[in-house]
């Protein structure tokens, strides 16, 4: 099998596995004030080793805010407000104060304030350079080896400018290392993406960049965890893609045999030399099993305990299993009491009593969402006699665009256009960091699957029928 195809397939398997961990004792305190604020809340995105957690933070009438969130290790976080992103780099138990004067002027105080101030300036410089390079046009502009050279040239230019900018502001070592690490793994993502889009034309030497020791022997990768964990998945996929057992893993997952797949996968990677990459990928595979078989996954963790020497990964795995085993389903009744989305879910509940609901969170701009709509229509037709309602919740846009999309794609069922605050609240409650996202609500109003299969899945039809008969 083509290595690029295998990497793509595993990426799709991992894409929707990131959920919120239960609370732990190591909390980061974030407080501050936003001047001339026009919003009721903002988001904090916490980029852990294995998952992305989203938190909604209330803004008081005077623009002040205060929150504490659990984090497992020293790493990067993003504050999202007014369509802007503010980068933080902090440890568990840190306390941070942020005074946001406007989009360009931010004053940091508290723990790691110098590094955060430096990152605010350096990351803006990097973003300008990155977007100016127009990576999104790479497929049209370059042949494979030309793109490799383009990335090398871009990296050299970026490194040179980073030295210049860092000297100008006397940047902290951690700020410099974080930008360097982001650059390294962000460009590797671009190389993987180009390979996936042009797989027929990719020569074997294209992936030689993965053999560089500087990619895999990098302790600083730990605090640039979002980019490194994505790279870790791609790296180990490439290393194992010629193994027949590895290729069988994908088929096992498609058959719903996630525990068996995880066992084979852990066997394969247990002898890989890079410790951190091995552990991240082993933990990611176990997360997939936790979703459906938490009790059996616990035995897998015991079997492969020697793989995990990173305490932060062991802690996340332990908490995830406990969370799954003792999970309490969210209900429509509970959501109906929520200040931001209560009326919305009260209406959904009243209009669909004793029905199974298949929720589809989508956006008019989302190509993947739109590509699923023909499958949704087919699934709806096949389930029309099973008392199942399809509920489409669209991200904020103008009403005319939304109505046109509903009509164009023939979205039969309940259609709802979310406002900005509803979107933020739902993202926070369900840790939604990307769409499309699907959920299943049973006849009792319990949200029994917050990360359900897509309409194109071979399993979703039988799952919905089974739930409708309960």
Tell me how far apart the alpha carbons of residues 134 and 207 are, in angstroms, rounded to a whole number: 22
Closest CA to 183 of 151, 150, 137, 148: 151
Residue 15 pLDDT class (50, 70, 90 cuts):
very low
Q: What is the mean pLDDT of residues 1-30?
A: 48
Q: Tokens representing 216?
A: 């895999």
Q: What is the mean pLDDT of residues 436-462?
A: 88
Chain-centre distance of CA 78, in angstroms? 13
> Are 365 and 384 within 8 A, CB to CB?
no
Q: Which phi-psi region, left, alpha or beta, contains residue 372 (left: φ > 0; alpha: ψ -120 to 50)?
A: alpha
Higher-confidence position of 460 and 114: 114
Q: What is the mean pLDDT of residues 158-180?
A: 93
Residue 3 pLDDT class (50, 70, 90 cuts):
very low
How many other CB atoms are found less than 10 A from the CB of residue 173?
11
Please check the confidence at residue 109 and state whether its pLDDT lies above 90. Answer: yes
Measured CA distances, 415 to 321, 367, 399, 407, 454 (Å): 35, 18, 12, 11, 18
Higher-confidence position of 422 and 23: 422
Tokens 């040179």 correspond to 160
> Are 270 and 308 within 8 A, CB to CB?
no
Closest CA to 453 of 443, 463, 442: 463
Chain-centre distance of CA 73, in angstroms? 18
Residue 157 pLDDT class (50, 70, 90 cuts):
very high
H-state helical runs in 306-439: 311-325, 332-335, 342-351, 367-382, 399-408, 420-430
Residue 278 pLDDT class (50, 70, 90 cuts):
confident
Please check the confidence at residue 132 and state whether its pLDDT lies above 50. Answer: yes
Please check the confidence at residue 228 and state whether its pLDDT lies above 70. Answer: yes
Q: What is the mean pLDDT of residues 454-467?
A: 88
Straight-line distance from the first to the last Cα atom of the chain, in angstroms, rounded to the nearest whole number: 41
Tell me how far apart the alpha carbons of residues 213 and 252 are, in angstroms, rounded to a whole number: 32
Q: For the packed helices 275-292 and 311-325, what is the interaxial angle rounded to 10 degrees?
A: 0
Tokens 């430096």 correspond to 118
Tell me how far apart the alpha carbons of residues 117 and 439 are, in angstroms, rounded to a whole number: 40
> Are 419 and 396 within 8 A, CB to CB?
yes
Cis peptide before 70 (omega within 30 of 0): no
Please check the confidence at residue 77 and state whether its pLDDT lies above 70. Answer: yes
pLDDT of residue 22: 36
Measured CA distances, 242 to 5, 7, 189, 245, 275 (Å): 11, 11, 21, 9, 21
pLDDT of residue 11: 43
Q: Tokens representing 91?
A: 């440890």
Question: What pTM was computed for the model?
Answer: 0.67
pLDDT of residue 312: 78
pLDDT of residue 296: 61
Which of 28-32, 74-78, 285-289 shows the highest mean pLDDT? 28-32
> Are 360 and 439 within 8 A, CB to CB?
no
Tell me how far apart the alpha carbons of residues 454 and 132 are, in angstroms, rounded to a whole number: 35
pLDDT, tens only, 330-389: 888 888 888 888 899 999 999 998 899 999 999 998 888 999 999 999 999 999 888 899
pLDDT of residue 53: 80
Residue 255 pLDDT class (50, 70, 90 cuts):
low
pLDDT of residue 4: 45
Please check the confidence at residue 241 and state whether its pLDDT lies above 90. Answer: no
């Amino acid at each position: 099998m083509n290595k690029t195809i295998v990497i793509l397939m595993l990426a799709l398997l991992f894409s929707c596995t990131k959920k919120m961990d239960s609370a732990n004792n190591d909390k980061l305190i974030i407080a501050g004030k936003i001047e001339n604020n026009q919003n009721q809340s903002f988001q904090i995105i916490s980029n852990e080793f294995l998952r992305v957690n989203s938190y909604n933070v209330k803004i008081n009438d005077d623009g002040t805010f205060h929150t504490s969130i659990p984090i497992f290790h020293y790493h990067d976080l993003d504050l999202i407000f007014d369509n802007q992103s503010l980068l933080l780099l902090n440890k568990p138990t840190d306390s941070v104060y942020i005074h946001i004067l406007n989009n360009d002027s931010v004053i940091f105080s508290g723990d790691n304030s110098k590094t955060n101030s430096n990152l605010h300036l350096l990351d803006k410089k990097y973003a300008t350079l990155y977007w100016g390079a127009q990576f999104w046009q790479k497929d049209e502009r370059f042949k494979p080896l030309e793109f490799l050279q383009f990335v090398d040239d871009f990296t050299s230019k970026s490194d040179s400018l980073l030295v210049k900018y860092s000297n100008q502001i006397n940047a902290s070592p951690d700020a410099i290392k974080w930008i360097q690490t982001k650059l390294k793994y962000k460009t590797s993502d671009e190389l993987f993406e180009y390979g996936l889009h042009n797989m027929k034309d990719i020569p074997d030497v294209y992936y030689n960049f993965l053999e560089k020791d500087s990619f895999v022997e990098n302790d600083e990768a730990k605090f640039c965890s979002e980019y490194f964990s994505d790279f870790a998945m791609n790296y180990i996929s490439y290393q194992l893609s010629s193994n027949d057992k590895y290729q069988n893993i994908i088929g096992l997952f498609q058959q719903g045999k996630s525990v068996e797949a995880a066992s084979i996968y852990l066997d394969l990677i247990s002898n890989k030399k890079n410790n951190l990459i091995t552990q991240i990928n082993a933990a990611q595979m176990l997360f997939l099993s936790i979703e459906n078989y938490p009790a059996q996954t616990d035995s897998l963790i015991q079997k492969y305990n020697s793989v995990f020497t990173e305490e932060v990964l062991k802690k996340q795995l332990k908490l995830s299993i406990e969370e799954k085993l003792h999970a309490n389903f969210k209900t429509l009744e509970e959501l109906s009491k929520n200040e931001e989305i209560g009326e919305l879910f009260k209406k959904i509940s009243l209009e669909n009593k004793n029905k199974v609901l298949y929720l589809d969170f989508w956006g008019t701009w989302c190509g993947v969402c739109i590509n699923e709509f023909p499958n949704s229509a087919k699934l709806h037709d096949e389930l029309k006699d099973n008392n199942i309602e399809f509920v489409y919740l669209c991200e904020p846009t103008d009403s005319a665009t939304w109505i046109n999309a509903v009509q164009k794609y023939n979205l039969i069922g309940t259609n709802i256009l979310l406002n900005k605050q509803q979107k933020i609240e739902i993202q926070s409650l369900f840790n939604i960091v990307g769409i499309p996202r699907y959920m299943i609500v049973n006849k009792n109003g319990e949200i029994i699957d917050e990360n359900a299969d897509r309409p194109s899945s071979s399993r979703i039809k039988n799952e919905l029928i089974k739930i409708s008969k309960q």
